[in-house]
Amino acid sequence: MNNSASDYEDDEALPTLIAIFDAEFHDEFNTRLIRGEDEPVYLPADEKTRYHQIVFAHGFFSSALHEIAHWCVAGPKRRLLEDYGYWYCPDGRNEAQQKQFEQVEVKPQAIEWAFTLAAGRQFSVSTDNLDGAEPDREGFTRAVKAQLTTYLNQGFPPRAQRFIAALNKAFDTPALSHSSISGEAA
């Protein structure tokens, strides 16, 4: 998840982003994008809330895109589990834990990169380990970029492709291409 100072300035775009997600996915998948005030979480529907919730952190635009990317790679069974049933090791990971984190983050961050470009913004990978082992940020960026290139060549997961098209339309951005990602990502 990439939270930058510009995320605070994106508040006016959040209602648009939420509306795009709702229009594309609520009816078919009974899922809503929810602006959270704390950590991000995916919550399946229950007796209290009859729809699934993708709760993004602190109102950050980039957090919303990151959490939607995770939803786009989660299968139907995982979407019935809180946080898709995945283990999460918080900040402070050792080197082995960080490598495991990066392996599971490559696909979602590649999709997030595509979403970010489709929304007309700059993407930056997130190694999300400020208090742990020093990550290989350049190596991780290369891995995410390679996955994005694979998606561009072979196609994105269907929900991701659908959301990219909706973002392109709403934010009046060009379709993604290999030239879109040259020189991108910090």
| pLDDT reported for residue 43 | 98
- Secondary structure letter of residue 119 according to DSSP: T
- Sequence-distant (6+) residues with CB within 8 A of 133 are 93, 94, 95, 97, 98
For the segment 137-142, the average pLDDT, to the nearest whole number, is 86
User: What average pLDDT score do residues 98-127 get?
Assistant: 89
| Cα–Cα dist 138/145, whole Å | 10
> Do residues 149 and 178 touch, judged by C-beta distance below 8 A?
yes
Cβ-count burial 114-134 (b if 16+ within 10 Å, e if not): bbbbbbebebbbbbbbeebee
- pLDDT of 84 > 80? The answer is yes
CA distance 35 to 47: 21
pTM of the model: 0.88
* pLDDT tens figures, 43-66: 999 999 999 999 999 889 999 999
DSSP E strand boundaries for the chain? 31-35, 41-43, 52-56
* 185, pLDDT greater than 70: no
Cα separation, 71 vs 86, whole angstroms: 12
Choose between 135 and 49: higher pLDDT. 49
- Tell me whether strands 52-56 and 31-35 are parallel, antiparallel or unpaired: parallel
Give the 3-state secondary structure of residue 56: strand
The stretch 168-175 carries a mean pLDDT of 96
Would you place residue 7 in the very low, low, confident or very high pLDDT band (cuts 50, 70, 90)? very low
Q: Name residue 94's amino acid.
A: N
**What average pLDDT does the chain have?**
87
pLDDT of res. 62: 93
